[in-house]
Amino acid sequence: MTVTASIFSTFGDALDFIVQPRTGRGGGEVGGLSNNLQLIWEHLKLCIVAMALATAIALPIGLWLGHTRRGAFLAVSVSNIGRAVPAIALLFVFFAFLGAGFANVALALTLLAIPPILTNAYVGVREVDPDAVDAARGVGMTGLQILRRVEFPLAVGLIFGGIRTSAVNVVATATIAPLAGVVTLGDPIINPSIYGEEGRLGGAILVALLAVLTEVSLAAVQRAVTPRGLRMQSSGRTPRGRLIASPRRRVTTTP
């Protein structure tokens, strides 16, 4: 009974940390909405830079590979390797070779974010209904026009799925950025000394909320941009019973 009570009080302290500022160890102010929002902003800064860079790099490549139907092996391998490399290992490799600091950590996160965007863009374009592409070609569109006006709009759901996956990974990994010298929302978790144990738990709650918020909002955007005819149930089955790639399904690696 007292164990449950103490667990509740521990979480209560954590929630208090989120909203109530207090004097941290050593005199500075920690906790409270404005300080935590500051940490959230530092966290998001890192994520936004990494996502922007990753999208700028990965999206054109993925789209082009899918359109030209080349590089299937590359796209799948990038996806597999990206999944196999632990995010923390990537962070520390960049840290060991390039040192601490925002730029280096952002680069590591960019590399982390590339595989899902690239692979999903590839698969998205690749799996566009060949009839639609043929029709466009028949009308006389050039390759680039087809990509822009036919393939991309039809693939945008899956593309956004990749961006969504990457964004959640980046938000999660930015939690351990303090290990490489960049203060983010993970700081109370990784370096609790001035924040206290309630700060550590409060930080964990905030990070979890931030990740869920990222996922939910990007899911809504994905649903909004997916052409209505292609919106699927999560079972992946169309009304006609054929299995077509669901915009919300992650890319599988069956050859």
Partner 1 sequence: MIAAALLAQSDNGFFRERTDSCVTDNGFCPGWFFGHIDRYTTPFLQHVFLVVVSVGIGFAIAFVLAVTAHRRRWLVGPVTNITGILYTLPSVALFFLLLPITGRGNVTAIIALTGYTLLILFRNTLAGLDSVPEDARDAGRGMGLTERQLLWRVELPLALPAIMAGLRIATTTTVGLAALAFFAGAGGLGEPLEAQKAFKTNVVFAGGLCVLLAVVLDAIILIVQRFMTPWTRAA
Partner 2 sequence: MNQTRTIRTALAAIAALALALGLVACGGDDSDSSSSSSSGTTATTAQGTAAITKNADNASTTLTIGSKNFTEQQVLGEIYAQAFAAAGYDVKKELNLGDEQTALKALKGGDISGYPEYTGTALLSFFEVPTKDLPKDPAAAFDQVKSKFAEQGITAFPPTPFTSSNEVAVTQQTADKLGLKNISDLEGKSQNLTLYGSPECRGRDDCLRGLENVYGLKFKKFVPVDIAQRHEVLTNGDADVSIVFTTDPQISRNKEVLLKDDKGMFPPYNSTFLMKTETADKAGPDLPKTIALVNKNLTARVMQELNARVDLDKETPQEAAADYLQQFDLVSSGS
100, 107, 141, 219: which one binds partner 2 (CB under 8 A):
100
26 binds, among partner 1, partner 2, none (CB under 5 to 8 A by kind): partner 2
User: Is position 25 an interface residue for partner 2 (rule: CB under 8 A)?
Assistant: yes
CB of 161 to partner 1, least distance (A): 12
Nearest of 175, 195, 145, 149 to residue 40 by alpha carbon: 175
Length of the chain (residues) = 255
Our CA angle for 14, 19, 21, nearest 5°, is 95
Give the binding range for partner 1 (CB under 8 A) out of 29-37, 65-73, 147-155, 230-238.
230-238
CA–CA distance, 46 with 185 (Å, rounded to integer): 11
Give the binding range for partner 1 (CB under 8 A) out of 61-69, 114-122, 146-154, 167-175.
167-175
User: Is position 193 an interface residue for partner 2 (rule: CB under 8 A)?
Assistant: yes
86 binds, among partner 1, partner 2, none (CB under 5 to 8 A by kind): partner 1
CB of 27 to partner 2, least distance (A): 6
CA–CA distance, 121 with 2 (Å, rounded to integer): 53
Residue 124: both structure tokens together: 């998205």
- Of residues 76 and 176, the one with the C-beta less far from partner 2: 176
CA–CA distance, 144 with 163 (Å, rounded to integer): 22
- Of residues 44 and 98, the one with the C-beta less far from partner 2: 98
User: Is position 101 an interface residue for partner 2 (rule: CB under 8 A)?
Assistant: yes
- Of residues 105 and 136, the one with the C-beta less far from partner 1: 105
Give the binding range for partner 2 (CB under 8 A) out of 71-79, 80-88, 179-187, 236-244.
179-187
Residue owning tokens 């863009």: 121
Cβ 123 vs Cβ 158: under 8 Å: yes
Helical spans, DSSP H, in the chain: 2-19, 32-68, 72-84, 87-98, 102-126, 130-139, 143-146, 152-173, 187-190, 196-225
Nearest of 63, 159, 94 to residue 120 by alpha carbon: 159
Binding site for partner 1 (CB under 8 A): 6-7, 10-11, 80-81, 83-90, 92-93, 95-97, 168, 171-173, 175-176, 179, 186, 189, 200-201, 203-205, 207-208, 211-212, 214-215, 233-237, 241, 243, 249-250, 252-254
